[in-house]
Structure 1
């Protein structure tokens, strides 16, 4: 894994406003089912719906602020977020996001969260054995 300090975050700008994030850990050489661990900050009204996340599952741990969670625009039928519809989430909540994805829209004070992206179990099982292997 590559581990980086949280200084000098990356920044993107788009229809959802400015999104600031910093990757803390990124997987390397298929030695882990964890894709990455990022700290994400959204300003008030900012939207987090990163492209290219099809095929990964996520856990979003809200650290500060509040947001509205909505299903991905085209989630698969098995996506439990779809059945629930939009939901209010706040600091201390953990959102488990299936591979179909979801969208987080920051509340009036913005939101900061830890994003842990992992490979789904079906993909992990198909990978070669990890090396090094813990005793």
Structure 2
């Protein structure tokens, strides 16, 4: 039996940790995965476009590869390590990602792959995928 409520909560936290290891969280929807990798993504829609923001500081814009194919938006590239090359460095904590990366976003059916714009500024990659004209609401005039 547990000695106090603190022991009970500690045991519940331990069990939750074990369950998280066996059944990792899949995020809020089938289109995203929490903690899935680098760069961290924010994806949303406006009435006329799908907006993707990739939080990716320390990249060179010309090294980014952005493609749209069969309803998938792919963001790929490489982030160089900040550790000095050739020197032996004892790393105690390394939270900054370095290396090749690839993120894939499933686009909705109304996305127009021929109308994609991307810009990179202050460590944020902004991608706008316009929606198809045929999917936008339109007013029908009655004669």
Largest Rg, 1 or 2: 2
Structure showing greater relative contact order (alpha-carbon pairs closer than 8 Å, 6 or more residues apart): 1
Counting helix residues as a fraction of each chain, which structure ranks higher? 2
Is TM more than 0.5 here? Answer: no
Counting strand residues as a fraction of each chain, which structure ranks higher? 1
Query: Structure 1 length normalisation: TM-score?
Result: 0.32
Query: Structure 2 length normalisation: TM-score?
Result: 0.31
